[in-house]
C-alpha cells in the first residue's frame, strides 16, 4: 500500500513572536543549521521507504514560500518524488483539513493509500526510530486503525494533551501499539504530575497514520455533517489544475474543529504507537532554547553575544550583538523591527503580546521588515512622514503584477541585475546604476529578464504609503487586487 506523507503547514505560532508572524509563521523559522522546520519535516518524510509523493496542506497565502522552501530541498536532495498541494483559502483546524485530505487521496492515490499526517513544525532528530514507529503505525493502519503517535512524557507538561494506553495490539506476534483507552485534555500541573506517576500515559503528538478509506468511513460515522460539507466544497473546488485550491465560499463555512474532537475522541478504531524517538513541537521560546548547547551558567545563544554574570538566559538575534549583564532566566529575542524580553517562566505568555498586536491591527503581528512575495522579497530600510525606502529583490524570470497606486510616487534605482519596466504605454530596460520615476496614477510593471537576482532601491513619497494602496490589473500568481503586491 502506498505511503503518502501529508504535511500540515499553518498556524500563526504566536508563542514564537516576534520571529513568527502571520505572513511568516512558525514552519518557516530557520534553525541554527539554516534549515526551516518545514524543510526538516519534508526531509524526514522523504527518508521513509517507498515514498513517491508528498501532499502538503497549507493556506494558499503560503504556497509560494512553501514551494520555494521545497525547491531548496530538491536542489540539495534530488529525487523522483512528486509534490502535491491542497491549498486552503482561510484558516481552519485539522478536522476540515483531514476530511479534504482524505477526498484528495481517494481521487489521486486510491482508497487504500496510507496517509502519514505530519505537522510541519515538529522537530525529530532520530530518523531511524521515527521510521521504525512509522512502520508499526503502517501495520496498524492496514488493520483498519486510526493511529496516533504518543510521546513518552519526560515531565508533567501542561501544554500537551495525553493518551491513556489500552490493550496491546500485535502484528506477527509482536506488540506494535495499543488501543487508545481515552484522551485527556491538557491538564493542570497537579493532574499532569498524577498522570506521570500513574504511568501508561503518553503525550498526544498530533501525528497520525491511517488508510484513506478508513478515514472517510470514520468521518461518515462520527462527523457526517462535516464530511458532507467538505464533499460539497471538494466538488466546488478547482481541481483540474495544480495546485488544488479549495473553494473559498464553501470552505469558509466549514466548522473550525480539530480532528481529535471530530473523530478521534469518538471512534473505536483509535490506536497509539508509543514512539521512542525524540520529539519537540517547538511550541515556545523555552522549547527553542532547549535545542542549543548551554554554557557553564546555563546560558544559550543564537546570536553574536557577550554574557557577563548572567545565568539561564536565551539570546537570539539575526543582526545585532546582544550583551547581557547581571541578569537571570531571561528570553531576549531581537528582530530588526521588534524586541522581546521575557522571563523564561512566562514563555507561554508571549502569545498574549501577539494577540494584543492582532487586536490592535498592528503591522508587527502580520509582517516582518523583510516581506516575502512570490516574485522575491522587499525590505523596509527606513520610513517616516511621507516617505519610505525599500530594498527590492526580484527572482530571475519573475515579475511583479501590473499595477497602479493612487497615493504614492516611486523612484527606482537598479543596484544590480537587469530590470524591464513597463510604464504606461512604454517599455524599457534599466541596467546597474540606472533609475526611473513612476508617478502616482501610472500603470506599471517590474520584471527581471535576467538569470541573476535583480536588486533595486525604491524610494516612495506621497500622502499615503500603505501596502494596500494598489490596483492590480494582471498578476502571474493569481492574487486578487485586494492582496498586497
* Prediction pTM value: 0.89
Cβ atoms of residues 350 and 285 within 8 Å: yes
d(CA 89, CA 81): 26
Neighbour tally for 217: CB within 10 Å: 18
Cβ atoms of residues 58 and 97 within 8 Å: no
| In the block, residue with C-alpha cell 499526517 | 117
Share of the chain residues as helix, strand and coil, in percent rounded to the nearest 5: 30, 35, 35
| Domain 369-474 coded CATH 2.60.120.10 | yes
Per-residue DSSP letter, 263: I
Helix H or strand E segment including 392: strand 387-394
Q: What is the pLDDT of residue 482?
A: 42
Q: What is the pLDDT of residue 481?
A: 47
All residues at 6 or more sequence positions from 286 whose CB lies less than 8 Å from its CB, including other chains: 314, 331, 344, 347
For the chain, domain boundaries: 3-275, 285-350, 369-474
28-36, long-range: CB < 8 A, 24+ apart: 28/62, 28/65, 28/69, 29/282, 31/123, 31/291, 32/291, 32/292, 32/302, 36/69
Using only C-alpha atoms, the chain has a radius of gyration, in whole angstroms, of 25
Q: What is the pLDDT of residue 246?
A: 96
Q: What order do you get walking across the sheet with 314-317 strand by strand?
A: 300-302, 314-317, 330-335, 338-343
Question: What's domain 3-275's superfamily in CATH?
Answer: Spore Coat Polysaccharide Biosynthesis Protein SpsA; Chain A (3.90.550.10)
Cβ atoms of residues 413 and 423 within 8 Å: no
User: How far apart, in Å, do the first and last CA atoms of the chain sit?
Assistant: 44
3-state secondary structure (DSSP) of residue 326: coil
Per-residue pLDDT of the chain (485 residues; tens, 9 = 90+): 689 999 999 777 899 999 999 999 999 999 988 899 999 999 999 999 989 999 999 999 999 999 999 999 998 877 788 999 999 999 899 999 999 999 999 999 999 999 999 999 999 999 999 999 999 999 999 999 999 999 999 899 888 999 999 999 988 888 999 999 999 999 999 999 999 999 999 999 999 999 999 999 999 999 999 999 999 999 999 888 889 999 999 999 999 999 999 999 999 999 999 998 999 989 899 999 999 899 999 999 999 999 999 999 999 998 999 999 999 999 999 999 999 999 999 999 999 999 999 999 999 999 999 999 999 999 999 999 999 999 999 999 999 999 999 999 999 999 999 999 999 999 999 999 999 999 999 999 999 999 999 999 999 999 999 888 999 998 888 765 444 44
Cell numbers found for residue 275: 514512539
Amino acid at each position: 500500500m502506498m505511503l503518502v506523507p501529508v504535511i500540515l503547514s499553518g498556524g500563526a505560532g504566536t508563542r514564537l513572536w516576534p520571529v513568527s508572524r502571520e505572513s511568516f509563521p512558525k514552519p518557516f523559522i530557520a534553525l541554527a543549521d539554516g534549515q526551516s522546520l518545514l524543510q526538516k519535516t519534508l526531509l524526514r518524510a522523504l527518508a521513509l521507504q517507498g515514498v513517491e509523493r508528498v501532499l502538503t496542506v497549507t493556506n494558499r497565502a503560503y504556497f509560494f514560500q512553501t514551494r520555494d522552501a521545497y525547491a531548496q530541498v530538491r536542489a540539495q536532495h534530488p529525487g523522483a518524488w512528486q509534490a502535491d498541494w491542497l491549498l486552503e483559502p482561510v484558516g481552519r483546524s485539522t478536522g476540515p483539513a483531514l476530511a479534504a485530505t482524505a477526498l484528495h487521496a481517494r481521487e489521486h492515490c486510491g482508497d487504500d493509500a496510507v496517509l502519514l499526517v505530519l505537522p510541519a513544525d515538529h522537530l525529530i532528530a532520530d530518523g531511524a526510530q521515527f521510521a521504525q514507529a512509522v512502520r508499526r503505525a503502517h501495520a496498524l493502519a492496514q488493520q483498519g486503525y486510526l493511529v496516533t503517535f504518543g510521546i513518552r512524557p519526560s515531565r508533567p507538561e501542561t501544554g500537551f494533551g495525553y493518551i491513556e494506553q489500552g490493550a496491546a495490539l500485535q502484528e506477527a506476534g509482536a506488540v506494535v501499539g495499543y488501543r487508545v483507552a481515552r484522551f485527556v485534555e491538557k491538564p493542570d500541573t497537579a493532574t499532569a504530575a498524577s498522570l506521570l506517576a500513574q504511568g501508561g500515559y503518553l503525550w498526544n503528538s498530533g501525528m497520525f497514520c491511517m488508510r484513506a478509506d478508513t478515514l472517510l468511513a470514520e468521518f461518515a460515522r462520527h462527523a457526517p455533517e462535516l464530511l458532507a460539507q467538505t464533499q460539497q466544497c471538494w466538488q466546488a473546488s478547482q481541481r483540474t489544475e495544480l495546485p488544488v485550491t479549495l473553494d473559498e465560499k464553501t470552505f469558509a463555512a466549514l466548522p473550525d474543529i480539530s480532528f481529535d474532537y471530530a473523530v478521534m475522541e469518538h471512534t473505536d478504531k483509535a490506536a497509539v504507537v508509543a514512539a521512542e524517538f525524540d520529539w519537540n513541537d517547538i511550541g515556545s521560546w523555552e522549547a527553542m532554547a532547549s535545542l542549543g548547547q548551554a554554557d557553564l551558567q546555563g546560558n544559550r545563544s543564537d546570536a553574536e553575544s557577550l554574557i557577563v554574570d548572567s545565568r539561564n538566559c536565551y539570546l537570539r538575534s539575526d543582526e545585532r550583538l546582544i550583551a547581557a549583564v547581571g541578569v537571570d532566566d531571561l528570553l531576549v529575542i531581537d528582530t530588526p523591527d521588534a524586541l522581546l524580553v521575557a522571563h523564561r517562566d512566562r514563555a507561554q505568555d508571549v502569545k498574549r503580546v501577539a494577540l494584543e498586536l492582532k487586536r490592535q491591527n498592528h503591522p508587527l503581528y502580520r509582517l516582518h521588515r523583510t516581506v516575502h512575495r512570490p516574485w522575491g522579497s522587499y525590505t523596509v530600510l527606513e520610513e517616516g512622514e511621507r516617505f519610505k525606502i525599500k530594498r527590492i529583490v526580484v527572482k530571475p524570470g519573475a515579475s511583479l503584477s501590473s499595477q497602479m497606486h493612487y497615493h504614492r510616487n516611486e523612484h527606482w534605482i537598479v543596484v544590480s541585475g537587469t530590470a524591464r519596466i513597463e510604464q504606461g504605454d512604454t517599455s524599457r530596460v534599466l541596467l546597474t546604476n540606472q533609475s526611473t520615476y513612476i508617478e502616482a496614477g501610472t500603470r506599471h510593471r517590474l520584471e527581471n529578464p535576467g538569470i541573476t537576482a535583480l536588486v533595486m532601491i525604491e524610494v516612495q513619497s506621497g500622502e499615503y504609503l500603505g501596502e494596500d494602496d494598489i490596483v492590480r490589473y494582471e498578476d502571474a500568481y493569481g492574487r486578487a487586487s485586494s492582496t498586497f503586491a
